[in-house]
Amino acid sequence: MIAGTARRMWLVSVVVLAVSLWWSGARAEPQVPCYFIFGDSLVDNGNNNQLQSLARADYLPYGVDFGGPTGRFSNGKTTVDVVAELLGFDDFIPPYATARGQDVLKGVNFASAAAGIREETGRQLGDRITFSGQVKNYQNTVSQVVNLLGDEDQAANYLSKCIYSVGLGSNDYLNNYFMPQFYSTGNQFTPEEYADSLIHDYGQQLTILYNYGARKVVLFGIGQIGCSPNELAQNSPDGSSCVQKINSANQIFNSKLKALANEFNTNLADARFIFVDSYGIFQDIISNPAQYGFRVTNAGCCGVGRNNGQITCLPFQTPCQNRDEYLFWDAFHPTEAGNAVIARRAYSAVQASDAYPQLVQGKPQVPCFFIFGDSVADPGNNNKLPTLAKVNYKPYGIDFPAGPTGRFCNGRNIVDFLAELLGFENYIPAFASANGTEILQGVNYASGAAGIRKESGKQLGARISMGEQLKNHRTTVSRIIDIFGKKSLAKNQLNQCIYSVGMGSNDYINNYFMPQYYTTSQKYTLEEYADVLIKQYTRQILRLHQYGARKVALVGLGLIGCTPDAIKTYGTNGSACVDIMNNASQIFNGKLVSLVDELNTNLTDSQFIYINSYGMGSGDLTLAGFKVLNAGCCEADEVGQCIPDLTPCQNRSEYVFWDSFHPTEAGNLITASRTYTASEPSDTYPMDMSHLAELQINPQSSLVYGAPQVPCFFIFGDSLADNGNNNNRRTSAKVNYHPYGIDYPAGPTGRFCNGRTTVDILAQLLGFENPIPPYATARGPEILKGLNYASGGGGIRAETSYQQGDVISLDQQLLNHKFTASRIASILRSKRSAGQYLNKCLYSVGMGSNDYINNYFLPELYPTSRLYTPEQYATVLVQQYSRQIMSLYESGARKVALIGIGLIGCTPSAISAFGTNGSACVDKLNSAAQMFNQNLVSLVDQLNTDLTDAKFIYVNSFGMGSGDPAAAGTRFKVVNVGCCPINSFGLCAEGQTPCQNRSEYVFWDGFHPTEALNVITAARTYSEFDPSDTYPMDIKAAIYFVTNIVVLVVSMLSQSPPVYGEPQVSCFFIFGDSLADNGNNNLLPTSAIVNYKPYGIDFPVEPSGRFCNGRTTLFLSQWEQMTATWTLMMINVVLVISLLQSCVCGEPKVPCFFIFGDSLADNGNNNRLQTPSRGNYKPYGIDFPQGPTGRFTNGRTIVDILAELLGFENPIPCFANTRGYKNIVRGLNYASASAGLRDETGSHMGENVNLNKQLLNHKSTVKRITSIMGLKQLSRQHLQKCLYSVGMGSNDYLMNYFQPKFYPTSKQYTLEQYASTLYKYGARKVVLNGGLVGCTPSSISTTNGSTCAENLNNAVQFFNQKLKSLVDQLNAKLTDAKFIYVDMFGISGSPSDLTAAGFKVTKANCCPVDESGQCLPSKAPCQNRSEYMFWDLFHPTEASNLITARKTYNSSNSSDTYPMNLSHLIQLRL
Distance CA 1015, CA 965 (A): 12
Distance (Å) of CA 545 to CA 538, 542, 763 = 10, 5, 34
Distance CA 455, CA 449 (A): 10
Element holding 528 (H helix, E strand): helix 526-546
DSSP code string of 591-629? HHHHHHHHHHHH-TT-EEEEE-HHHHH-S-GGGGT--EE
How high is the pLDDT of residue 1389? 64
How high is the pLDDT of residue 1375? 83
pTM beyond cutoff 0.85: no
List, for the chain, all residue ranges whose pLDDT scores fall below the cut of 50: 1-28, 358-362, 699-706, 966-970, 1042-1062, 1064, 1066, 1114-1146, 1220-1221, 1305-1309
Element holding 373 (H helix, E strand): strand 369-373
**Cβ 1390 vs Cβ 1455: under 8 Å:** no
C-alpha closest to that of 534 among 237, 1071, 669, 526: 526
C-alpha closest to that of 1190 among 1203, 1205, 1208, 1178: 1178
How high is the pLDDT of residue 22? 24
**Cβ 1084 vs Cβ 1095: under 8 Å:** no
Distance (Å) of CA 26 to CA 20, 87, 826 = 12, 12, 38
1417: Cβ contacts below 8 Å, ≥ 6 apart: 1177, 1178
Distance CA 1161, CA 1154 (A): 11
Of 40, 333, 679, 688, which one is the catalytic site residue? 333
Q: Could you tell me if residue 640 is left (phi over 0), alpha (psi between -120 and 50 degrees) or otherwise beta?
A: left
Distance CA 548, CA 477 (A): 9
Q: What are phi and psi of 216, to 5 degrees?
A: -125, 100
What letter does residue 1282 receive in the DSSP assignment?
A: S
**Amino acid in position 1284:** Y
**Cβ 554 vs Cβ 596: under 8 Å:** yes
Angle in degrees, CA 1260, 1262, 1268, rounded to 5: 105
723-740 tens-digit pLDDT: 999 999 999 999 999 999
909-931 tens-digit pLDDT: 999 999 988 888 999 999 999 99
452: Cβ contacts below 8 Å, ≥ 6 apart: 465, 466, 503, 504, 507, 533, 536, 537, 540
| Residue 41: active-site member | yes
C-alpha closest to that of 6 among 163, 216, 212, 156: 156
Of 13, 40, 41, 743, which one is the catalytic site residue? 41
How high is the pLDDT of residue 252? 94
Distance CA 1459, CA 1380 (A): 6
Distance CA 940, CA 67 (A): 74
Element holding 195 (H helix, E strand): helix 191-211
How high is the pLDDT of residue 1413? 87
What distance separates the 2 farthest-apart alpha carbons in the chain? Answer: 113
How high is the pLDDT of residue 1045? 30
Length of the chain: 1470
| Residue 1464: active-site member | no
| Residue 333: active-site member | yes
Distance CA 34, CA 161 (A): 8
C-alpha closest to that of 537 among 508, 502, 512: 502
Of 330, 718, 760, 1292, which one is the catalytic site residue? 330
**Cβ 331 vs Cβ 342: under 8 Å:** no
Q: Are strands 216-220 and 163-167 parallel, antiparallel or unpaired?
A: parallel
Angle between helices 1251-1269 and 1272-1280 (to 10 degrees): 130
How high is the pLDDT of residue 211? 94
State in Å, rounded, how far the first CA of the chain is from the last one. 48
Angle in degrees, CA 465, 467, 470, rounded to 5: 110
How high is the pLDDT of residue 1133? 38
